[in-house]
Chains A and B, each alone.
Chain A
Amino acid sequence: LAKTTQPISMDSYEGQEVNITCSHNNIATNDYITWYQQFPSQGPRFIIQGYKTKVTNEVASLFIPADRKSSTLSLPRVSLSDTAVYYCLVGDTGNQFYFGTGTSLTVIP
């Protein structure tokens, strides 16, 4: 399984763009990169998934460089409600079940 490394915590002011980077140096050819968001007292929920280059949806963007050894989750103009833990997972269909420590994002007014 590809091991992932993320910052433990980050702080940001409201309205700013937040970028959270995940390192996955031993990512395999068939692996996808998936990000989840977890609010306090809730289970994690899917945010975005990608394989290479850039993916964008209504919530976030995911940037993946050509070597795929890292990925960056970008949250545009964060609000207080974006305060949560963000997890990066790497794997293929059969093993993308293991969560790391995640990044605790605190948005400051």
Chain B
Amino acid sequence: DAGVIQSPRHEVTEMGQEVTLRCKPISGHDYLFWYRQTMMRGLELLIYFNNNVPIDDSGMPEDRFSAKMPNASFSTLKIQPSEPRDSAVYFCASSWGQGVGNTIYFGEGSWLTVV
């Protein structure tokens, strides 16, 4: 399997612009996660889906952030409008939830810089 695939790998954008991050989970996985990592706050869980349904979005920082999962093989995380404090690495991850202590597989991350 190709693993979790994220795009773009790197993005530099100006404040106020819309940013869309994309993710293709591992085929067959029924959980999908979006994390954000910064030096100050570490690895934060933003939102996760189970069978394409958002289960917990309490980690989404504010209304500027939204996430969708229209089907089992695709998800997006959108920031509109973007701000410099959104600069971070955004990881998408997936897992097979039926096993005990399900293992999470991470993508390589999308490195976002908002100037």
Contacts and interface: CB of A to CB of B under 8 A. Distances in A.
Interface of A: 32-34, 36, 38, 41-46, 49, 51, 87, 91-94, 96-102
Nearest to A99: B43
Interface of B: 4, 33, 35, 42-43, 45, 48, 91, 93, 97-109
Nearest to A95: B56
Interface of chain A, helix or strand or loop or mixed? loop
Contacts, number: 56
A32 B108 CA distance: 26
B45 A91 contact: no
Contact of B101 (A41, A43, A44, A91): A91
Contact of A102 (B42, B91, B93): B42
A44 B106 contact: yes
Given A43-B93, A99-B43, A92 B109 contact: no
B51 to A, nearest CB: 13
A59 B88 CA distance: 30
Nearest to B97: A93
A99 B45 contact: yes
A93 B48 CA distance: 14
A97 B100 contact: no
B45 A93 contact: no
